[in-house]
Amino acid sequence: MPSTVPDDELKARLRAMWASGDYPSMVETWLLPLGPRLVEACRIGPGMRVLDVAAGTGNASIPAAERGATVTASDLTPELLEVGRRRARAEGLDLDWVEADAENLPFEDESFDVVMSAIGAMFAPHHQEAANELVRVCRRGGTIGLLSWTPEGMIGALFRTMGPFAPPPPPGAQPPPLWGSEDHVRGLFGDRVDFGTMERDILEVTAFERPRDYGTHFKERYGPTITAQANARRNGREAEFEEALDRFCDEWNRGTSDHARFDHEYLLAVGTRR
């Protein structure tokens, strides 16, 4: 088990951030395709022991269980796990739901055949610690699968837009979209994982009628956006924040003014643990 002691105050803030808003409804509105995409890429099948790290509401965990795998869904935020537990129960699926920090997982070494994370582990503030844990709990010869937003894509640009308004990051924290960089992922895992798949793809989102509806959706439901706006408000910069988000939505719209379309680039990385 790792010897590092988690920063309790930092993790409490992160837990509260992800519990704010309504992240489960974001998943239902436009994120659902990503979980099955990762499960398919990891070739999950019956009898496999699977850990989904930063699983949220089970967007990848539940499709893995549908394939007959024995699945543990772990996340820092119990409110998200509770939503996932209800979803799984409604579908007649039996999963383990475990509150856990991606940087300090409560599992034994090499205890899973597949360790995966769909836009989850990327939000752990200390990337190397999270990567080390993913490797540690995966058996030798097992699979590590990651799906992460890229720095160059729309969500990477969103974080750059919000950055000047958000609270300062804690010491040593790295930007989440770095996990969508091929070089960064290879650097984190080094020679411990052979990545047979390292490819970029696009999630096309057409759930919003007008471009700025996208920004409204994030302000109402997405923890990092809610946190950035609240900090901007405290500093007398809320109008500036609103204008920046409006410009962002207009710039990234690939559809029309009355039928928006947004292309979200992600990196799919799947490899074998040495």
Per-residue pLDDT of the chain (274 residues; tens, 9 = 90+): 433 444 789 999 999 999 999 999 999 999 999 999 999 999 999 999 999 999 999 999 999 999 999 999 999 999 999 999 999 999 999 999 999 999 999 999 999 999 999 999 999 999 999 999 999 999 999 999 999 999 999 999 999 999 999 999 988 999 999 999 999 999 999 999 999 999 999 999 999 999 999 999 999 999 999 999 999 999 999 999 999 999 999 999 999 999 999 999 999 999 999 9
pLDDT digits (tens, 9 = 90+) for 165-213: 999 998 899 999 999 999 999 999 999 999 999 999 999 999 999 999 9
State how far the Cα of 64 lies from the Cα of 71, in Å rounded to an integer: 7
pLDDT at residue number 7: 79
> Please, which residues have CB within 8 angstroms of residue 183's CB and are 6 or more apart in sequence?
none
Please tell me the CATH superfamily of domain 8-204+264-273, with its number: Vaccinia Virus protein VP39 (3.40.50.150)
pLDDT digits (tens, 9 = 90+) for 7-27: 789 999 999 999 999 999 999
Q: Which pTM value belongs to this model?
A: 0.96
pLDDT at residue number 217: 98
- Alpha helices, H only, 114-263: 127-137, 154-162, 182-189, 211-221, 223-234, 238-252
pLDDT at residue number 5: 40
pLDDT at residue number 2: 39
Which secondary structure element, helix H or strand E, spans residue 79, and what is its range? helix 78-90
Q: Where exactly are the structural domains of the chain?
A: 8-204+264-273
Q: Residue 254 in 3-state DSSP?
A: coil
